Structure 1
Amino acid sequence: MGEAFIGSEALASGALTRHELARFHDRLLPDVYRARGKPLSLRERTAAAWLWSRRRAVIAGAAAAALHGSQWVDGDEPVELIWNNGRSPAGLIVRNEALDDDEVTRVSGLPVTTVARTAYDLGRHLPRDRAIPRLDALSRAICFSREDVLLIAKRHLNARGLRRLREALPLVDRGAASPKETWLRLLLIDAGIPVPTTQIPVQNTWGLIAMLDMGWEEFMVAAEYDGDLHRTDRGRYAWDRKRARLVAGMGWKVVSVIKEDNPADVIARVRAALTSRGWRARD
């Protein structure tokens, strides 16, 4: 058996003996097993969690976001379920919460919170600096309406975390191509720098030469987060250098950011670039 399955059901049907179950299969969760020796993906862990609930729970949170196509969800992320159960094994988060019928859909045969309900849960349950990267990634995968999310909030007026959700939603930007880009955008906004536009196209007479991570077109200033790929892939590095020269030749001033940079220095460099182009901070 390649997929996760309920052990007691396999025994009852005669598909396996107790000896075969114990010798050739790993126990993932109470009474949930899978063939031994294969790496376990988040999708498989999610299916196993649902089976553990005896097919009664609805998948929610980051696991639901991943099923909807969201990137940047680690394979060892706890699987969240909405279900009335007081005890949950390690690796699962079970929440006994109100859930309307139209807040549930099916993805790959599994019951999952809708995109809007998933966004609602992420925005309520996670702290701001974790929620917004998750919401950015979900929105990038499958665009959701903030109004639809707020409509769900109106249905559940006594739910916890609604203030946190309402504060996070205006900051969601589907143009963020990675959690680090979200981090950089929030860093600058929190420092009082105007909200940047994301994914800015730069073109010359031959066509598109770059999509800048974020920036302020009025001042032709941009900020870009350079990930490790820029250093480990020599071809990518060479193209990025050429790209930087082309963008500069079009009049853009680009502030490049790497993970080792001090946040205060990043803010100062962006402020200086904007100020040099005529921006003035409000008192």
Structure 2
Amino acid sequence: MTISGEVLRNMRALAAKQDWVVTTAQLRAAGAERADVRRMLRAGQWLPLTRGSYWIGRDARGPSLRARVRGLLLTCGSQAMAAGPTAARLLGIQGLPPDDGTLHLATLHATIRNRQGVHIHRTLVPDHARTTLRGIPLTTPARTCADLLLQLPRAEAVSVLDSALHQGVLTSADRLTLPTHLSGRPGARQARTWIPLANARAESPLETRIRLICLDGGLPPPVLQWPIPDPERGRAFRIDLGWPAQRVGTEADGQGPMPPPKPSTKTASARTAWPPSSPA
């Protein structure tokens, strides 16, 4: 006996509202039997996510991060939310360590515990630090960034702040609230010293790391995205990091070198540039 067409239609209609995820309880309520679920899993048409949830989508790439988080939260209940690296990835923030597949949740509920692929952060998240993203509960951008300031090494923490500010995920007003989100938490004193290092003009984690190396080496803070006009070609080039007073710029992650200079033009490659004239 195969699962009925009506049950499948009902399941897909519900799953379409939940990132193509359904739970064991929802399957039973729709009339699916355990044997039906096992057959769909064996056939590869459904995929198990976390305990008690399944992905029934048809995307060849498999379940997305949102789907995996949705499956976990549907089985944990309303007392949990995405947090830390998982919240940051849902928000589109870059600069994080490589993703090892672990999902991070914040909750104080004692029945939700760590298990393989799931890390629970036992922390109180006040109402003003909670939000939703297309139906998925998670910590706000400010709380997420504050949490990561406490969890990550300096270079990665500042990279996260740069990315969040550059993309507008973290606003200037949000940035001012970061010390409040850090207050009273272990590591807050050190984390607060990293906040002034963030710069919304940074366009990649590599730029952030190079900027920090320069600052640690005693160089003055660079101008980010420094425009260098080229009147002869009627255009301007842009250098990732520059020191206009010294007429020096460094390109962190450009796609290619600048056009070859004419003999009379003192312009080097994309790695270091000596502009022919001071920027306007």
TM-score range, shorter chain: 0.7 to 0.9
Larger Rg belongs to: 2
Q: Please say if 1:90 is aligned against 2:116.
A: yes
Q: 1:52 aligns with which of 67, 71, 75?
A: 75
Q: 1:213 aligns with which of 240, 260, 266?
A: 240
Match of 1:267 in 2: none
- The letter for the 2-side match of 1:64 is A
Q: 1:81 aligns with which of 105, 129, 132?
A: 105
Give the TM-score normalised by the residue count of structure 2.
Answer: 0.75
Match of 1:68 in 2: 91
Between the two proteins, what is the percent identity of the paired residues?
Answer: 28
Q: Please say if 1:203 is aligned against 2:203.
A: no
Per-residue deviation at 1:68? 2.5
Per-residue deviation at 1:176? 2.1
Query: Structure 2 unaligned runs (5+)?
Result: 1-11, 41-45, 275-280
2:92 is paired with a residue whose SS is coil
Q: d(CA) in 1 for partners of 2:262 and 2:248?
A: 11
More helix by share: 1
- The letter for the 1-side match of 2:68 is R
Q: Please say if 1:101 is aligned against 2:124.
A: no
Cα deviation code 1:154-177 (max 9, x no counterpart): 366321221232122111122222
Match of 2:142 in 1: 116
Q: d(CA) in 2 for partners of 1:198 and 1:248?
A: 28
Aligned residues between the structures: 246
Query: Structure 1 unaligned runs (5+)?
Result: 231-239, 257-269, 275-283
Q: d(CA) in 1 for partners of 2:198 and 2:165?
A: 8
Per-residue deviation at 1:144? 2.9
Q: d(CA) in 2 for partners of 1:156 and 1:128?
A: 15
Q: Please say if 1:161 is aligned against 2:187.
A: yes
Q: 1:127 aligns with which of 144, 147, 153?
A: 153
- The letter for the 2-side match of 1:102 is H
Q: d(CA) in 1 for partners of 2:141 and 2:75?
A: 23
Any conservation in 1 of the 2:107–2:124 contact (CA below 8 Å)? no
RMSD of aligned Cα (Å): 3.1
Change beyond 3 A, Cα 1:107–1:84: same
Any conservation in 1 of the 2:55–2:67 contact (CA below 8 Å)? no
Q: d(CA) in 2 for partners of 1:155 and 1:178?
A: 25
Q: d(CA) in 1 for partners of 2:238 and 2:262?
A: 10
Change beyond 3 A, Cα 1:144–1:9: same
Give the TM-score normalised by the residue count of structure 1.
Answer: 0.74
Q: d(CA) in 2 for partners of 1:5 and 1:246?
A: 60
1:123 is paired with a residue whose SS is helix
Per-residue deviation at 1:224? 1.2
Per-residue deviation at 1:6? 1.6
Match of 2:210 in 1: 184
Any conservation in 2 of the 1:78–1:91 contact (CA below 8 Å)? yes
Q: Please say if 1:245 is aligned against 2:268.
A: no
Change beyond 3 A, Cα 1:99–1:219: same
Any conservation in 1 of the 2:83–2:139 contact (CA below 8 Å)? yes
